[in-house]
Structure 1
Amino acid sequence: MSISPLQKARAAYAPKLPPALAGGANVKVNEGVPTTAVADVEKIRAIFKTTFGSPVLTFEAGGSAAAKAINVGVILSGGQAPGGHNVIAGLYDGLKSLNKTNKLYGFLKGPDGLVKDEYMELTDAIIDAHRNTGGFDMIGSGRTKLETDEQFEAARRHCEALGISALVIIGGDDSNTNACMLAEYFKSHSIPIQVIGCPKTIDGDLKNEWIETSFGFDTACRVYSELIGNIGRDANSAKKYWHFIKLMGRSASHIALECALQTQPNIAIISEEVAEKKMTLGQIVDEIAAVVAARSAAGMNFGVALIPEGLIEFVPEIKVLISELNDLLAANAEKVDAMEKADKVKFALANLTKESAAVFATLPAGIQMQLCNDRDPHGNVQVSLIETEKMLAEMVATKLKAMKAEGKFNGKFSTQVHFFGYEGRCAAPSNYDADYCYSLGYNAAALIGAGRTGYMSSVRNTTKPASEWIAGGIPITMMMNIERRHGHDKPVIRKALVELDGKPFAFFASKRGEWAKETAYVYPGPIQYFGPSEVCDLVTKTLMLEQSK
């Protein structure tokens, strides 16, 4: 297989480790006090009878006991995130440091591979070919949920057949919730298989005091910020376009906020603020139009606006509209499916409540069509397919046209729309993610060596040099709360949304008025892997601000 010069050079990069792991994954374990859950404590305690209340662990170098040979399984779960291969490489090297005869099996295509007994043994050659690379192509990933006793029993059978005594699940909040459920099942049934989780998601919404960031967030934001910087340069060169850019992040706006901090666009909408202020779609459009008009009056008929993917679901009136549409279209599925596209829109307008019909009528025709036609197998509107960037661009244009008629706008408004998503999910990991991911994997091996289960690998203090990083583990149960899912109470890891009273948003809020008026774009450029530390070993603005004193 042909590889690029960069791939060849990156293969030789040796990721850094926290000092506790530098001598191998056999470590001294320091236990904290028993833990609780973030909410719904008694309900979580009742579900996780054997794993609830475990202590936070901190590792130190100094373990010396010889470890018996073990076999371990690893699973990549959910969407791709830069650095996944390095988690597996770190896990592999950590296991080999415990005992050179230890084996690592990769279950193929995600949790489905565990349930269907599809796997491959990971060898030196396979691991070495994937060090410091992006993607999940080493073993593939999938979105199958592990949540039934039948699946847990299949997992037990297949692990026992391979002699596997520990599983590492690399995934986001749902995947690690499933890992916690599996750990509880095994432990409560006296099945000697440990389960360890690793925090993955480019969306950045799996974090807390002990998990500073989810892996992949750093790299993805740098990829998007490079593109946004390029577009900002183009906007300031051509001076004739407003660029509306939608960014990944359906449940939280961490990516939009981080990219705004890196590139200083004229507008960046934060969904959590929209929800907090109970803003209408009309108010969002009015605010954007006001910035466009002000810049135009200053002779600048161009700009850059960042929009989080999940914005539409944070607008209260749109949330109500979508809920009504879901019910209306599901209740009349046969009738609606037989209609022409335009007739579906008329049917919706005629049968929605007065308030929702009024909101629906303000939307561009193309968005109305999407809402009525693009439904998932359950009959629900596919919100992720809504072209929010195009919708806002069209609605702002309509608003400016009205303002022009009133003599409140005399400029020009031409738009370009973009969606940056898949571009960032499989990039070669930044030095930060390469180091962090390798450490998370190596640390997972240390948790296995320490005999723990139901834990998430935790590496902290990462704004400092790796020589000051702190390795350990946290019980996944302490991140849990109860949420209503499909009519049932479910234990889930609480998503971390953008905190409006947090330092990253506060800094952004203090600067956005200035960025709206001026052309203050920053051009981050491509990820740098080689060169001075101040260029290559950056951490996100979000993390720097959160960790600042």
Structure 2
Amino acid sequence: MIKSPLQKARSKYIPKLPKSLEENVALITGEASEAIADKAAIKQMFPNTYGLPLVTFEAGDISENQILNVGVVLSGGQAPGGHNVISGLFDRLKKLNNRNQLFGFIGGPDGLLNNSFIDLHSEIVSEYRNTGGFDIIGSGRTKIEDEASYDKVIANCLKNNINALVIVGGDDSNTNACVLAEYFQEKKAGIQVIGCPKTIDGDLKNSFIETSFGFDTACKVYSELIGNIQRDANSAKKYWHFIKLMGRSASHISLECALKTQPNIAIISEEIEKYKLTLNKIVGQIAEVVKKRANKGENFGTVLIPEGLVEFMPSIKKLISELNDILASKPEYNKLPTSQEKRDFITGLLSEESAKVYSSLPDSFAKQLTLDRDPHGNVQVSKIETEKLLIDMVTDRLDKDQSFHGKFNAQNHFFGYEGRCAAPSNFDADYCYSLGCTAALLINSGKTGYMAFIKNTSGNSDKWLAGGVPITMMMNMERRNGHEKPVIQKALVDLKGNPFLMFRSKRKEWATNSDYIYPGPIQYFGPSEVCDAPSETLLLEQESSFQDELVTV
């Protein structure tokens, strides 16, 4: 592998570990757990893995180690730090027993089904330490969701003497891990399953999963780009930049990037939903800020837009829900020859309210709402050009406003893939390595149906706390592809939480001023306060005194 000077330097970086993981560890068993919602339904569906106790690790002695053959699967979209999860998993397995082996399944869950894997020995793992991407074994979005597939996974694992799997993924992938763990227990297959929390969107978190890995790095990459654009805007003074950011189901990335860069406008989808704001209302609010800045002679600015905005507008959310059911149950739709026939077909199946909304949408936008769904049955919001729609509607609004005497020229951007495979920040490099070590310890302790966690992550890494949380504890029932299914509950932006309250207290000031912050690129070498700092979101969430200092807005 050809390496840049930065890659060579990063390969020498030794991730920092919590003190409790540096040497031998002891398992501490806590209280039994319950599902976050729909307890009776979840318990009925997971009788063998429901109610498991929380566990943590602390310095101490461990018992004799068995020989472990562990398979690891990278599932879903890429996130910075995945290679360090594998590095931590590999190193701790070898530390526990040098005869332990780690196998990487190729291409995500498909590798499990096809029995396609490689032996992850030290030479391979060393090539990928502290690097971005998932290219060590690749990833995939295939869902393993029927008994025939479960049995195929069991057969392939037993064939290769693999007695544990580590699933590295987001909420859907870890839901699948929980289902596998339950099935393996029911069948007495002797195969453990441990999950690791991955997603740059930041929506896989709770009281134990403080942040999903990759969020820190991705937000720092996006914030650098936003800062660059804001510096250009402040230099040229002639463009409004509408920037769509990753985040289908929550606005954590948009909020974090707003806290890092201080844009003129940042839309938070959860707030749109709470106050039932329409598309026209959002457009009107943007236009008012444009006018106010134009009155100061500043015909430029930045607008941050969460990727999943359209799903949070109440009327469009209801429309999308109906569209999901129609597209899942009416395959004849795809055989219709023309766009107009398809639109008429759907309109005839919608409720009166949704039909009215659907009929009012521009053809291009309506078509984007009916594109093929992802493997989980969700609309692919990354293909919906919300940023262009807002530009067009703001332009139209200002053209009709006789009191507007400024200029409005807009550029659109979408930052997505730019952040998914970046070299992990020091925080993500350390955090992911610790997660990998923790997953190995959970396996060695005989646990299954757990997700590895690291807590106290806003402080120094030596004080981090490692452990495992039962995946069933995070689950609730949701409608997917027209059916109620158990899934890990997504964490939305908390409108009463410190990060949003900080943003809310500043946004009026940011709207009219040009007090932009230019974060610059991720720093890997230098003072700890520059290189090791976690996200603004994480710092604010764990700052208990913050709300007392806020001025009510």
Counterpart amino acid of residue 232 in structure 1: Q
CA offset at residue 195 of structure 1? 0.7
1:526 aligns with 521
Counterpart amino acid of residue 431 in structure 1: N
1:161 aligns with 159
Matched, 1:338 2:333: no
Counterpart amino acid of residue 286 in structure 2: I
Q: Of residues 375, 382, 385 in structure 1, which corresponds to 2:383? A: 385
Change (3 A) 1:436 1:334: closer
1:108 aligns with 106
Map 1:146-545; keep pairs closer than 5 Å: 146-323=144-321, 337-339=336-338, 341=339, 356=354, 359-360=357-358, 363-364=361-362, 366-371=364-369, 374-376=371-373, 382-404=380-402, 408-545=403-540
CA offset at residue 335 of structure 1? 9.5
Please give the per-residue CA displacement for 1:170-208, whole angstroms capped at 9, x wherever unaligned: 000111111111111112222211111000000000001
1:21 aligns with 21
CA offset at residue 366 of structure 1? 3.7
Q: Distance in 2 between matches of 1:487 and 1:48?
A: 21
Counterpart amino acid of residue 217 in structure 1: F
Q: Distance in 1 between matches of 2:115 and 2:483?
A: 30
Change (3 A) 1:300 1:476: same
Q: Distance in 1 between matches of 2:470 and 2:455?
A: 15
Name whichever of 183-192 and 250-259 sits farther off. 183-192
Q: Distance in 2 between matches of 1:352 and 1:286?
A: 28
Secondary structure at the aligned position of 1:8 is classed as helix
Counterpart amino acid of residue 470 in structure 2: P
What is the TM-score when the length of structure 2 is the normalising length? 0.93
Matched, 1:2 2:6: no
Secondary structure at the aligned position of 1:20 is classed as helix
Change (3 A) 1:438 1:103: same
CA offset at residue 370 of structure 1? 3.6
CA contact (8 A) 1:364 1:395 kept: no
CA offset at residue 383 of structure 1? 3.7
Secondary structure at the aligned position of 1:261 is classed as helix
Matched, 1:144 2:139: no
Please give the per-residue CA displacement for 1:336-384, whole angstroms capped at 9, x wherever unaligned: 8322x57866887899777556645664554345446x44599996543
What is the TM-score when the length of structure 1 is the normalising length? 0.94
Secondary structure at the aligned position of 1:21 is classed as helix
CA offset at residue 70 of structure 1? 1.6
Q: Distance in 2 between matches of 1:488 and 1:365?
A: 29
CA contact (8 A) 2:333 2:342 kept: no
Please give the per-residue CA displacement for 1:75-101, whole angstroms capped at 9, x wherever unaligned: 000000000000000000010010011
Q: Of residues 125, 128, 133 in structure 1, which corresponds to 2:126? A: 128
Map 1:55-70; keep pairs closer than 5 Å: 55-70=53-68
CA contact (8 A) 2:324 2:481 kept: no
- Coordinate RMSD, CA, aligned: 2.2
Counterpart amino acid of residue 513 in structure 1: K
Please give the per-residue CA displacement for 1:55-82, whole angstroms capped at 9, x wherever unaligned: 1111111124231222111000000000
Change (3 A) 1:417 1:52: same
Change (3 A) 1:491 1:326: closer
Change (3 A) 1:67 1:380: closer
Please give the per-residue CA displacement for 1:471-525, whole angstroms capped at 9, x wherever unaligned: 1111111111111222322111100011111111111111111100111110000
Q: Distance in 1 between matches of 2:260 and 2:386?
A: 22
Change (3 A) 1:5 1:363: same
CA contact (8 A) 2:315 2:357 kept: yes
Change (3 A) 1:449 1:326: closer
Change (3 A) 1:492 1:356: closer
Q: Distance in 1 between matches of 2:164 and 2:349?
A: 54
Q: Distance in 1 between matches of 2:305 and 2:257?
A: 11
Secondary structure at the aligned position of 1:403 is classed as coil
Change (3 A) 1:32 1:13: same
CA offset at residue 147 of structure 1? 2.2
Please give the per-residue CA displacement for 1:118-141, whole angstroms capped at 9, x wherever unaligned: 001001110000000000000011
Counterpart amino acid of residue 499 in structure 1: D
2:548 aligns with none
Q: Distance in 2 between matches of 1:433 and 1:395?
A: 39
Name whichever of 280-289 and 42-51 sits farther off. 42-51
Name whichever of 245-254 and 312-321 sits farther off. 312-321
Secondary structure at the aligned position of 1:293 is classed as helix
CA contact (8 A) 2:307 2:381 kept: no
Counterpart amino acid of residue 38 in structure 2: D
Please give the per-residue CA displacement for 1:262-303, whole angstroms capped at 9, x wherever unaligned: 000000001111111111100010111111111111111000
Secondary structure at the aligned position of 2:143 is classed as coil
1:34 aligns with 32
Q: Distance in 1 between matches of 2:193 and 2:321?
A: 37
CA contact (8 A) 2:168 2:174 kept: yes
Change (3 A) 1:362 1:106: same
Secondary structure at the aligned position of 2:503 is classed as helix
Q: Distance in 1 between matches of 2:372 and 2:343?
A: 14
Counterpart amino acid of residue 313 in structure 2: V
Q: Distance in 1 between matches of 2:518 and 2:272?
A: 27
Secondary structure at the aligned position of 1:74 is classed as strand
Q: Alignment length, in residue pairs?
A: 542
Q: Distance in 2 between matches of 1:134 and 1:366?
A: 35
Change (3 A) 1:355 1:202: same
Q: Distance in 2 between matches of 1:503 and 1:58?
A: 27
Please give the per-residue CA displacement for 1:298-342, whole angstroms capped at 9, x wherever unaligned: 111000000000001111122234456667888695698322x57
Counterpart amino acid of residue 267 in structure 1: I
